[in-house]
Amino acid sequence: MTPLMYAVKDNRTSLLDKMIDLGSDVSARNNDNYNVLHIAGMYSREDVVKLLLGKRGVDPFSTGGSRQQTAVHLVASRQTGTATAILRALLAAAGKDIRLKPDGRGKIPLLLAVEAGNQSMCRELLSSQTADQLKSASANGDTALHLAARRRDIDMVRILVDYGTSVDLQNGEGQTALHIAAAEGDEILVKYFYGVRASASITDNQDRTPMHLAAEYGHANIIELLVDKFKASIFERTKDGSTLMHIASLNGHADCAMMLFKKGVYLHMPNKDGARSIHTAAKYGHIGIINTLLQKGEKVDVTTNENYTALHIAVEAGKPLVVETLLGYGADVHIQGGKLRETALHIAARVKDGDKCALMLLKSGAGPNITTDDGQTPVHVAAKYGNLHTLLLLLDDGGDPQFKNKNAETPLHLACRGCRPDVVRHLINYIKQNKGNEVAAQYVNEVNDNNESALHYACAVTKEEVDVPLADKEVVRLLLENGADVNLLSKHAHETCFHYVAVSGNNDVLMAMISHMSNTDMQKALNKQSAIGWTPLSIASHKGHTEFVNNLLTNHARVDVFDTEGRSALHLAAEKGFLKVCDLLLTHKAFINSKSRVGRTALHLAAMNGYTHLVKFLIKDHNAVIDILTLRKQTPLHLAAGAGQIEVCKLLLELGANIDATDDMGQKPIHAAAQNNFSEVTQLFLQQHPSLVMATTKDGNTCAHIAAAQGSVTVIEELMKFDRQGVITARNKLTDATPLQIAAEGGHSEVVKALVRAGASCTDENKSGFTAVHLAAKNGHGQVLEVLRSTNTLRIVSKKLGVTALHIAAYFGQADTVRELLTHIPGTVKSEPPSGASLVPTLGNESGMTSLHLASFSGNENVVRLLLNSAGVQVDAASHENGYNPLHLACFGGHTTVVGLLLSRSAELLESHDKHGRRGLHIAATHGHYQMVEVLLGQGAEINATDKNGWTPLHYASRAGCFDVVKLLTESGASPKSETNLGAAPIWFAASEGHNDVLEYLLTKEHDTHTLMEDRRFVYNLMVCSKNHNNRPMEEFVLVSPAPVDTAAKLSNILIVLSNKEKERAKDLIAAGKHCEYMATELLALAAGSESAGRILTATDRRNVEFLDVLIENEQKEVIAHTVVQRYLQVKKW
């Protein structure tokens, strides 16, 4: 405080005037950050304030104090009547706007005046800017009216209402002044608000009306007033669905509950959780409410949505008096609720101090062995949560400690896992006392579904889970002293309790177990391997339990045991970077360079995972081989580089690691770094050996190729710093691809941009003829094409393939890319003759194709539609070599939708033909596209149209062996007798190509048997088909002919004659001939049975030769020798 401040505080007007004139600083601040005007506002008279306001340098807007208040705020907080005059002076000096200036807590002077209860002050402040002040709120949203209501100041409320404040203004909690008055139980204020028509139906942020708050605080008179005067609804509910009855029950207001019941509030109305008022009252222990509700007809066993009764809830909340009351009203103790369907006794078993409730429940008939859905009895639950008193009550009442839950766990298992020594002791003693020591030993070794004993569970307890010091050790001691078997193996992992304790790293438990074992047993137990080959030492090393590892090693655990992957404890410790564990293992003779099955050493694993300190330790302190190789010939430097461990890489290089070492794929460490986008590691290697930029792998890639494939801009840029020209021109030795092409193919636009900026050629082609533009178009990488657009290479034609990027995009179905490229390349551009391999091998060296041709061939409907709508594109444009139009190419692939689109543009395409005279139907039939043939026929395609060689679609389908198409064409009217220019019918081609199903089908259709027999090539092919199908085609050919016996005889001779010319198949031809002769014999015998032999033997063929002469002519000795023929000849002779 300055002297001037003291003078102001003491109202010494004359003195302070002189002091100011003599130069006292009016802006000085005291320790509380107040100046003289602030002090005057708090303590002085009107004349002092006016004097100060007239002095130079005094600012009424300056703030001070911890709340950052002006002098107006400070005056407004004063309760004296004289303060109003001071306020008036300050307002005159500062102007009206100071009324709305908030202090550090967000309060304007009016709010402070209301809190002080200074009515004259409030009137003065409200004389100007009234509406804005009345709406202004504090940090929690309270307006002046709310504050007045909290103070229960009816006079202040009247003043504020008289000045026009809205009685229904809501604060930050959504509450009106009526809410506050109702909560306070201020009947006078509530009646006043009724007089000014305040709304009783407005809800706060929790959906509570003033009625709810009155019920919450037990103001029955207010509830009655709200109902009678305001006509407020008694059925309003909060956000969680609670009714007024819930709220009254929650807070134990029995008189309110009774009054609400009289007013008609529903007794059985649940909230969102399904809880009724009885549940709420039970939770909070309001016995009076419960009695009232039950007397008014509420059901004692009514349940919530989760099937919990009031009894469940009372037990959970630890309310024994409520439990007693409910039991007195006949509550059912066996009802199961919750997700696990637990009884009230289960809940009593798990809650703290639940023994009182448990005793009452047991005396009321609750079953100690009833199970939840997971098979837990109350005994299990009490054991798990360590509630010993409850457990003893359960055991005394017949609870079964040997009962197993659905996981086959006994209560002992759960007690051990929860580290409850007192429970463990009582459970074991109970079994001993009731069933003897032998059963107790069996009980201790009972296993669950995974074959885990209670000892397994005890060993899984970590030190962090132990609440009572040494409780874990005591549990294990109890188990071991009562016969626990340390050698029991779990079902799947085949782990003993020593493996489990190695996971938890609990030294006390380990030492307790070891102390109960002989040296021989201990050696076996400590070196026992699990299903994956891990010993307790392996596990402890992997977990980094240093002290635990030391204890194992001290007790002769072996360091040379390897798991199924060939890893020792040293590998597992190094993989996690546990240097101290590694040191212990190496001190106990672990082999530093031992390899896993994939050839990795501890050094490889430490390097790969970035443990620099461990890498240095292994190499310098234990002479680990620095360039030791895995099975893939990778050094530790390879693995460190591939994992981006730059510090390890630096260290290895400093210690002499070989930077040029190559693995089985020819990769050096720099390639591994580039592969995984580690530019800093790449830079490190290049600084050591700049020539590594051009080093290649076995598959021909340089670092630039690898980085481009991975989309690594930073690696590419790093490589170009050392050899820009080499990077942009590098070619893969196998595919001839450049980094730019690889980046474009992968869609890595930023890499493409960097390479193009560096001068990479966009016109270079790879071995297949693709440039970067073509590759980007093939894979639909629009962003890459956008970058390449600036190089003016979008229209480039591949020299090898003869196509543009538009052709490529159309062929591969990249609709968006086609749309973009059409703005740069006309859709009418045709392909040029390829100089290398064709883009479409099926079409060979075809040229003159537009992008529509290729899109139609691939069947890309969206691209076809896009191109058809493109300017100048002709649907009937023909290619150069074969004259294919888009329809022909669509028929190649059987793309019916595309054909439909093309025909919708030009129906004339249906009859269009290529340079060989083939129409779309010919091509579709050739490739066996059933649906396409069906569509074309439906569109009116000529079914028997011939090409330049006289072939119909049926000829093509028969040659291709497309049975379904052959059948469709034949049934649709195709002529099976139509012949090519060389006189071949469809059946001829079916036999020629060995399509037996087509051949047999066409044999049933119209054909010229005699003409076919005269064609020696057909007969030969028929024999080949028959040979492969048990002579069935040949038999069918004979039997469907007009004169089967005649056909068989002649065919037999033809086959025998052919055997003289076709030496390679002579044996098969003779056999076929003999079979036909046998058929002729049998057919003649059958025919003679129904007709006389004479009629058959004298019948003439097409040449007017009798059948007997035919037999003689064709040398059918077996037929002639038949009894029927001989008998006829005898008769004729006589």
pLDDT tens digit sequence for 1001-1044:
998 899 888 888 888 899 888 888 988 888 898 888 888 888 88
Model confidence band, residue 382 (pLDDT cutoffs 50, 70, 90): very high
Same domain, 629 and 702: no
Per-residue pLDDT, 611: 97
Indicate the residue among 764, 796, 828 that finishes a domain. 796
Contacting residues for 96 by C-beta, under 8 A, at least 6 apart: 128, 129
Per-residue pLDDT, 267: 61
How confident is the model over 705-727, as a mean pLDDT?
93
pLDDT in tens, 428-457: 999 999 999 999 999 999 999 999 999 999
Instruction: Classify residue 185 as left (phi > 0), alpha (psi -120 to 50) or beta.
Output: left
**Whether 99 contacts 108, CB under 8 Å:** yes
Domain assignment present for residue 514? The answer is: no
Model confidence band, residue 1104 (pLDDT cutoffs 50, 70, 90): confident
Model confidence band, residue 237 (pLDDT cutoffs 50, 70, 90): low
Per-residue pLDDT, 701: 94
Same domain, 784 and 892: no
Domain assignment present for residue 411? The answer is: no
| DSSP string across 792-845 | T-TT---TTT---HHHHHHHTT-HHHHHHHTTTS-TT--PPPPSSS-SSGGGTT
pLDDT in tens, 294-312: 988 889 999 998 999 999 9
Same domain, 750 and 771: yes
CATH code of the domain in which 188 resides? 1.25.40.20
Domain assignment present for residue 130? The answer is: no
Domain assignment present for residue 549? The answer is: no
Indicate the residue among 741, 761, 796 that finishes a domain. 796
Domain assignment present for residue 582? The answer is: yes
Judged against a pLDDT cut of 70, whether residue 615 lies above it is answered with yes
The structure's pTM equals 0.71
Rounded CA-CA distance 857/859 in Å is 6
% of the chain surpassing 70 pLDDT: 95
pLDDT in tens, 887-903: 999 999 999 999 999 99
Looking at per-residue confidence, does 14 or 518 come out higher? 518
Model confidence band, residue 1086 (pLDDT cutoffs 50, 70, 90): confident
Domain assignment present for residue 429? The answer is: no
Judged against a pLDDT cut of 60, whether residue 1090 lies above it is answered with no
Rounded CA-CA distance 1103/1041 in Å is 17
Same domain, 579 and 651: yes
Rounded CA-CA distance 1015/993 in Å is 16
Per-residue pLDDT, 249: 64
Residue type, 674: A
Same domain, 1014 and 1105: yes
Lowest mean pLDDT among 56-65, 150-159, 245-254: 245-254
Per-residue pLDDT, 9: 75
Same domain, 924 and 1027: no
Same domain, 832 and 867: yes
Same domain, 699 and 769: yes
Q: Tell me what the pLDDT averaged over the chain comes to.
A: 89
Per-residue pLDDT, 1057: 84
Q: Provide the domain count of the chain.
A: 6
Judged against a pLDDT cut of 90, whether residue 1111 lies above it is answered with no
Indicate the residue among 775, 796, 817 that finishes a domain. 796
Model confidence band, residue 498 (pLDDT cutoffs 50, 70, 90): very high
Per-residue pLDDT, 222: 81
Same domain, 807 and 876: yes
Judged against a pLDDT cut of 60, whether residue 272 lies above it is answered with yes
Per-residue pLDDT, 244: 62
Same domain, 699 and 787: yes
Same domain, 683 and 643: no
Domain of 711, in residue numbers = 679-796
Judged against a pLDDT cut of 70, whether residue 1131 lies above it is answered with no
pLDDT in tens, 668-694: 999 999 999 999 999 999 999 999 999
Rounded CA-CA distance 600/602 in Å is 7
Per-residue pLDDT, 383: 96
Domain assignment present for residue 212? The answer is: yes
Per-residue pLDDT, 94: 81
Contacting residues for 217 by C-beta, under 8 A, at least 6 apart: 183, 184, 185, 251
Lowest mean pLDDT among 3-7, 576-580, 759-763, 927-931: 3-7
Model confidence band, residue 33 (pLDDT cutoffs 50, 70, 90): confident
Contacting residues for 1044 by C-beta, under 8 A, at least 6 apart: 1038, 1079, 1083
Model confidence band, residue 213 (pLDDT cutoffs 50, 70, 90): confident
Judged against a pLDDT cut of 80, whether residue 233 lies above it is answered with no
Same domain, 603 and 659: yes
Lowest mean pLDDT among 182-191, 416-425, 767-776: 182-191
Domain assignment present for residue 476? The answer is: no
CA–CA distance from 763 to each of 697, 734, 796, 1064 (Å)? 25, 19, 7, 57
Phi, psi of 337 (to 5 degrees): -135, 170
